[in-house]
Amino acid sequence: MSVEVLLLSDVPSLGQAGATVHVAPGYARNYLLPKGLAGPVTQATLRRLEKLRKEREELARLQLAEAKDKAKKIKDANVTVRAKTSDGTNLYGSVRVEDIVAALGAQGIDVDRSQIELAAPIESVGQFDVPVKLHPEVSLTVKVWVVEA
């Protein structure tokens, strides 16, 4: 026996928002319905889903515009990080994501740590291209100069 529900949000391994799926009654009653992930298949639920979809589209549009504006600021930024070296080329420690975020913050550019995609800490002096992903549709690289302190 199963019950038919309308998904209001994306549910991993079950379906996307807007899909009508058949699930076990207990799964619907104890998990999907209380968390607001699904609702019964009614006209009211369909109207609610349409309202949520419009709100999400508007939010996504605003986030994309904000990411594009921030990308313009970051594109023009020069990031210089000063660090102590042992022999003029190798660093005592390393330059990490936090250091790059702090250097960008000093220039008035707020970036979240999770947006900087540094594969490994920088351990030598030089110029490095660091990828930054501000939005799923907006990615760029920042030139980071590591110089001896």
Same domain (yes/no): 75, 140: yes
Same domain (yes/no): 135, 83: yes
- The predicted-structure confidence for 5-51, as pLDDT tens digits, reads as follows 999 889 998 998 888 899 999 999 999 999 999 999 889 888 888 89
Here the CATH number for the domain that contains residue 33 is: 3.40.5.10
Pairing of strands 20-23, 3-7: antiparallel
- List the domain range (segments joined by +) for residue 7: 3-63
- CB 35, CB 13: distance < 8 Å: no
* pLDDT over 90 at 101, yes or no: yes
State the pLDDT at residue 46.
Answer: 83
Give the chain's domain count. 2
Pairing of strands 122-124, 126-135: unpaired
CA atoms within 13 A on the CB side of 56: 11
State the pLDDT at residue 14.
Answer: 93
- The predicted-structure confidence for 42-100, as pLDDT tens digits, reads as follows 898 888 888 988 998 999 999 999 999 989 888 878 899 999 998 888 998 899 999 99
